[in-house]
Structure 1
């Protein structure tokens, strides 16, 4: 599997709501970009308690979903921006049902590994000035996902994002999101145990699944 990355994108922390700041607005970068274990070197995260870090280093929100959102909220001007949902990679033709936890992708000289789905939060609704977007993501599974960086490197717009290793074929990003946030009551203990034991899943979410079993 191989798709073109039409843009690499990064954001800077800016005032967002009251005293809070956010770097959710990502803008296209030009030229080669260095990708470290914490993501694109040019990128920032305003709230490092819940964003960023080695297990959420690079975010991808499929451009394929922008048309879906036009049907939900109308032709919002932000939907013309590749980084409207905070994505670091502008990609079409790759969605949550086609990738798995632990899949590895070569991007330029960097090697990325899918670590978890993205949990939607209130900042999406505040950015778009639209209510119920989080509920729609939970229902539709159009969540996007994060990569960890296995090998640092450089990449630029126009490079291919090429899958070189298929991870856990039982756990697509779509199914993982549903089990953790979207429709958790539809999954039995044995399936939750599988996620708790899935070594390529973000440790924080493995702990969350283990706690669910314990209770």
Structure 2
């Protein structure tokens, strides 16, 4: 894997109505040349649900451009047409890094900022409305190609065409593809869950999820997250 990739697109979004609903969303992000990155995200980037989007553990969302053509082939129209850079509310679009190439806790220099991978994305029901497909969130989850989030270790200005350069990799045995496999496929691998729960650099919500699975030896209900239902 390369140690660095170029930011092909940098995107921020204002609040708009999601589909034909009254739900506010910042998923429709537009390209910008530069933006200031602070601990909660990019300047002028907004989220409709700040309980589940944005904030210190989800300051930046990254999606690999390699995924768009694969997803387009699997989706009906017009959803396939929507599957372009920016479709998933991503802030960073690149080629060269996928979930198999980056690890929990990876630290990168990005322009003036320093960022660290905190967790893979957990798709939610808003994608169903965004794409007009009742189970789009589940479809994306099943691909294990969900994109991922960064926390900000050092704020600063970032620009399109900056290089996202790997500085440090504390957990080379925990690529995000492994985390996603454990989250959604081999869901009750108790040994792996114990290891995952002990990764300090993993976001608190995923460490808690792993601990709850260990204690209950059951998988949490995904209905509310995927479909907006309890």
| Residue aligned with 2:56, SS | coil
Q: Which residue of 2 aligns with 1:110?
A: 113
Q: Any unmatched runs of 5+ in structure 2? A: 217-230
2:17 matched residue in structure 1 = 15
State which drifts further: 43-52 or 126-135. Answer: 126-135
2:115 match: secondary structure: strand
Displacement after TM superposition at 1:150 (Å): 0.5
Compute the displacement of 1:74 (Å). 5.1
Out of 152, 155, 160, the residue aligned to residue 158 of structure 2 is: 155
When normalised by structure 1's length, the TM-score is 0.93
Q: CA deviation at 1:167?
A: 3.0
1:78 aligns with 2:113: no
Q: Is 130-139 or 171-180 further displaced after alignment?
A: 130-139
C-alpha distance in 1, partners of 2:46/2:60? 11
Match of 1:171 in 2: 174
Whole-angstrom CA distance in 2 between matches of 1:71 and 1:206? 34
Q: Name the residue aligned to 1:37.
A: 39
Count of paired positions: 211
CA RMSD of aligned residues (A): 1.5
Specify the alignment match of 1:183 in structure 2: 185
Q: String of CA shifts for 1:108-156, please: whole Å, max 9, x gaps.
A: 0100100000001121121111243323222221110000001001111
Q: Provide the C-alpha distance between the structure 2 equivalents of 1:11 and 1:167, rounded to a whole number of angstroms.
A: 32
Give the corresponding residue for 2:61: 59
Residue 154 of structure 2 is aligned to residue 143 of structure 1: no
> What 5-or-longer segments of structure 1 have no aligned partner?
none
Higher mean alpha-carbon deviation, 193-202 vs 120-129, is at: 120-129
